[in-house]
Chains A and B, each alone.
Chain A
């Protein structure tokens, strides 16, 4: 996987109003594969948390017959953390403020996932 494919895909996500950063994370170990983050966002921590969150939710989803995870939306007072399952065990991650259009951000995350597949 080349950086020239990852970075433009992430840049398109960050162009969505309200998105503060986007990353590609390895779901298994929570490590950063590529990122495009605003200053002040701790990429390594976000990646680790995203991986852990996805893993725990994934187990709950499996037990409850919800199937494989496709999209996770953590909403908080001041913004959101969005995770989208990509191919090859990768997660597309976006950190947003609370003004974001989640549907639009998700669309760009989906496109990014398809591009890097």
Chain B
């Protein structure tokens, strides 16, 4: 390829030569070939794509990004540039952007197996990130337990919400307001048990005209509230509360670990 390029400097063989050098990790040589080709073909997307790949391999991500973005101004659905920018987004953990670009690339060339594999990798990473986020924020602590999306709340002893959600009859989230009152009630429960020499408090159940509140400490410095309608028998509320407490304990242990 080198000889062919020497014979005909305007040949497009520099694209293959540059890529071969890049794959052999001869990045300086690959960059020289790519720059040389670009002198003769400054607006050729493939040449710019090659140069961007060399820059990316050399760790010059800003330069690679700028070059690939330039490619997209010349050829908006250029698969190489889309894959390159997706790779950069992936490295920055911006998986949504990576998935967007890879899906565009796949629609342009559905047979490109490298895009298919990259999409699988990016989707798996996005799923992992989502799972981590949900674990960290407590969004899924009570998944699968009746009332998880509106009637179970985990808070700390200071009244700050740790996870779960409580909504009123209009569907409005009232978690923070309720958490403040419940933390106060739990303090009173602890104090009452101490003054009456009853030992550690275990549960605090409130039967209202329209619903039940079940409060318990699933772990030290944590308080769990389960709210159910009046029609739900108190025993069933207690059963739900035990399941929710087990889920809360597992989540708190995962956080501690």
Contact = CB atoms under 8 A, between A and B. Distances in A.
Given A46-B195, A65-B168, A74 B211 contact: no
B100 interface: no
Nearest to B184: A56
A75 B168 CA distance: 27
B40 interface: no
B216 to A, nearest CB: 9
Contacts of B212: 66
Contact of B185 (A57, A64, A66): A57
Interface in A67-96: 67-81, 95
Contacts of A63: 168, 174, 177-178, 181
A53 B168 contact: no
A70 B211 contact: no
Contacts of A52: 188
A95 B196 CA distance: 8
A78 B200 CA distance: 8
Size class of the contact patch on chain B: 35 or more
A41 B213 CA distance: 27
Given A65-B168, A75-B201, A56 B211 contact: no
Interface of A is mostly: mixed
Contacts, number: 119
A93 to B, nearest CB: 10
Contact of A61 (B188, B193, B206): B206
A105 B114 CA distance: 72
B207 interface: yes
A68 B230 CA distance: 12
B169 to A, nearest CB: 5
B144 interface: no
Contacts of A59: 181
A69 B210 CA distance: 9
A60 interface: yes
A107 interface: no
A78 B199 contact: yes
A45 interface: yes
Most buried by B among A49, A53, A57, A60: A60
A71 B206 CA distance: 6
B206 A72 contact: yes
A76 B216 CA distance: 10
Given A45-B195, A77-B198, A81-B198, A70 B207 contact: yes
Given A61-B206, A64-B227, A80-B198, 16 more contacts: A52-B188, A53-B185, A53-B189, A56-B185, A56-B188, A57-B213, A60-B178, A63-B181, A64-B178, A64-B213, A68-B208, A69-B207, A70-B207, A71-B207, A72-B206, A76-B202
